[in-house]
Amino acid sequence: MTDSKSKILMAASELFAENGAGGLSVRAISGRAGLSTIGIYNHFNGKQGILDALYIEGFQLVMSAIDVLDDGLSPREAVLKGLSNYIDLAARNRGHYQLIFGVGDSAYTPSSGAIAVGEEAFNRLTHMVSRAIPAKLSGRQKREAALQLWALAHGYVSLQDHEATDLIPTAAWRDLIMNAVTLHLDAIIAKHAA
């Protein structure tokens, strides 16, 4: 990726995290990136192209975060490490996270290529979870287990953007999320091992 494209995506991600979709205009992005609006249209074909690039980049970040199978961990530890990395990713990349998980622009519809990258991220998580749970489970059961764990982690991460944040100290959120994910993973393993 060129330096200009990187600047554009960084600026767009920052603006999205700060102001939501309403604050994301080609003019605002160009101002933040220090580039002309024409440059943005040349690289991304406008706001829709930028949103698609952010969406794809967001799910590529998710895949990088959860891709820990070769770290010498047990399958259970790999799932927990991948979900821990996912929590860190959400904190570091708020703009990407908000876009790919629904706090987006109502006028934006991800392209088929962007949707495929999101599906690949879920397939990777399913593969990782499949290694930690009993092999006798069907493909459907393995996907459901992966979805349950992802939804649990995502739900807690998303709550951090709402009033519930004030109920629990910020530093305690990460432990709260990991405790819930660990309990649920262990329950899935125990339920199907019997």
Q: Could you read off the pLDDT tens digit of each residue along the chain, which spans 194 residues?
A: 678 888 888 888 888 878 876 778 889 999 999 988 888 888 887 788 888 888 898 999 999 999 987 778 999 999 999 999 999 998 888 878 878 886 656 677 888 999 999 999 999 999 999 999 998 999 999 999 999 999 999 888 887 766 556 677 767 888 888 999 999 999 999 988 77
* Domain span including residue 68: 50-193
How far is the first Cα of the chain from the last one, in angstroms, to the nearest whole number?
50
* Residue 8 lies inside a defined structural domain of this protein: no
* Residue 18 lies inside a defined structural domain of this protein: no
Query: 3-state DSSP call for residue 69?
Result: coil
pTM of the model: 0.83
* Residue 22 lies inside a defined structural domain of this protein: no
CATH classification at residue 133: 1.10.357.10
* Residue 162 lies inside a defined structural domain of this protein: yes
pLDDT tens-digit map of 169-184: 767 888 888 999 999 9
* Residue 56 lies inside a defined structural domain of this protein: yes
Going from the C-alpha of 130 to that of each of 72, 76, 142, 189, the distances in angstroms are: 17, 10, 6, 10
* Residue 178 lies inside a defined structural domain of this protein: yes
* Residue 43 lies inside a defined structural domain of this protein: no
Count of the separate structural domains present in the chain: 1
